[in-house]
Structure 1
């Protein structure tokens, strides 16, 4: 094969079988010599792969062998080399999360889908929302709130009734999760350059956690989120079924 591929797979039986078959059929290049990563699994495993190998700046071509495959291509082992050569790249910019906790520590994390805040107990969360240093909501009473990238807008954001964002739109979705007050606020679409800050009010009585994709920080006091201007990742998609088409088609699902 002309492509220098490093194969990875989720722990499911089907994905592990595909990994074994791929290595037998095509061999494998060590990670530090590869020019592309092929991932077998679902969207959750794709996010793990992006986080694990982000520093190497290699494009990732996924094949669906999981429950959800929005970020994946169809599984087919034939003509893999040609499929990768023909694949169209989609560049994603991750969200950067900076958290201050009750203990006084500062934690940083990266999210390709969304950063979400969720209440930790039966008590509703009380959150102050600021954009670029200006308070926009003095107190949001809710189960939580999230900030989503366009690539993540069809995931948790959509389940929370947030808008679907086209790739390349240079906007982010700010979506409340089960908001109680103010009752009529349903979120906002923000320019991608916006810095968002969430302050947890009464955090001792009403503890809140923050999650960047699957990385969780508990007992938070304040969270600042912004889109990275330096880090990018590249996903590869078959021309007949690229990510922009999937996001467009998702808006017509009933």
Structure 2
């Protein structure tokens, strides 16, 4: 891999640390800030952490992940042999993160990216009451719930799936809008929306029923209004082995008991 500057990152699990040691001698690895490519060893959590690190530094390069975690849905199989050729022959998949624009009751304003999902969650025993607007039009005047989330295709197999949301093929230009323990309307199961939609959440009775907003792992509390949209100006690139049938895995995941 000497023809390209690559950084080697790993999680701190024993398996990932041992894998890192096995790969350290195959090339001259460089620090992340100098890299043209990242090889990440771990699970989907490490992949998410790596992508956010690049967003924070505004230095976005392709990521080739190898699974040494529990699920590793977006990771390739770990093998030490032939890594350079695997990276050269890998298929590229581009994804755009979400942009969360949140304002708090006190007037604070935060803008954060999210690769998997943006979640709104009640902070106390009181259920949240949320108005939902899509592209400026009110589609639900009051959702009473524990929370609600917007998931990307890459994040649809994470928290969204646990909340009984749909799994989205990575190639789909869709977002999943999924309620979390809805009380009223009880039978509402969410919606599929075009990826270019602007989704706005307005907290009803925000002082009495406080709600936090979470962009992947970053949280802001006591929000009054949250807008979520796809950031088309930012593109992240994941690399997959040609034989890695990610679309098949997504299909099969939908038939798991």
Structure 1 position 16 matched with structure 2 position 17: yes
Alignment map for 1:1-254 (pairs within 5 Å): 1=1, 2-54=3-55, 55-254=58-257
- How many pairs does the alignment contain? 254
State the distance in 1 between where 2:110 and 2:52 align: 16
1:138, distance to aligned residue in structure 2 (A): 0.8
1:243, distance to aligned residue in structure 2 (A): 2.9
Deviation sequence 1:174-219 (CA, Å, 0-9, x none): 0000000011211011011110001111111111111111111111
State the distance in 2 between where 1:30 and 1:40 align: 15
Provide the secondary structure at the position in 2 that maps to 1:24: coil
Gaps of 5+ in 2: none
State the distance in 2 between where 1:244 and 1:91 align: 14
Change (3 A) 1:34 1:242: farther
State the distance in 1 between where 2:210 and 2:199 align: 20
State the distance in 2 between where 1:199 and 1:124 align: 14
State the distance in 2 between where 1:242 and 1:208 align: 39
State the distance in 1 between where 2:32 and 2:226 align: 34
1:82, distance to aligned residue in structure 2 (A): 0.8
Gaps of 5+ in 1: none
State the distance in 1 between where 2:209 and 2:192 align: 27
Please tell me whether the aligned partners of residues 97 and 224 of structure 1 are also in contact (alpha carbons under 8 angstroms).
yes
State the distance in 2 between where 1:83 and 1:3 align: 13
Instruction: Give the root-mean-square deviation of aligned CA atoms.
Output: 1.3
1:32, distance to aligned residue in structure 2 (A): 4.2
State the distance in 2 between where 1:218 and 1:242 align: 39
State the distance in 2 between where 1:29 and 1:103 align: 44
Provide TM-score, normalisation by structure 1.
Answer: 0.96
Which stretch of structure 1 is more off in the superposition, 20-29 or 204-213? 20-29
State the distance in 2 between where 1:11 and 1:34 align: 21
1:9, distance to aligned residue in structure 2 (A): 0.9
Please tell me whether the aligned partners of residues 144 and 178 of structure 1 are also in contact (alpha carbons under 8 angstroms).
yes
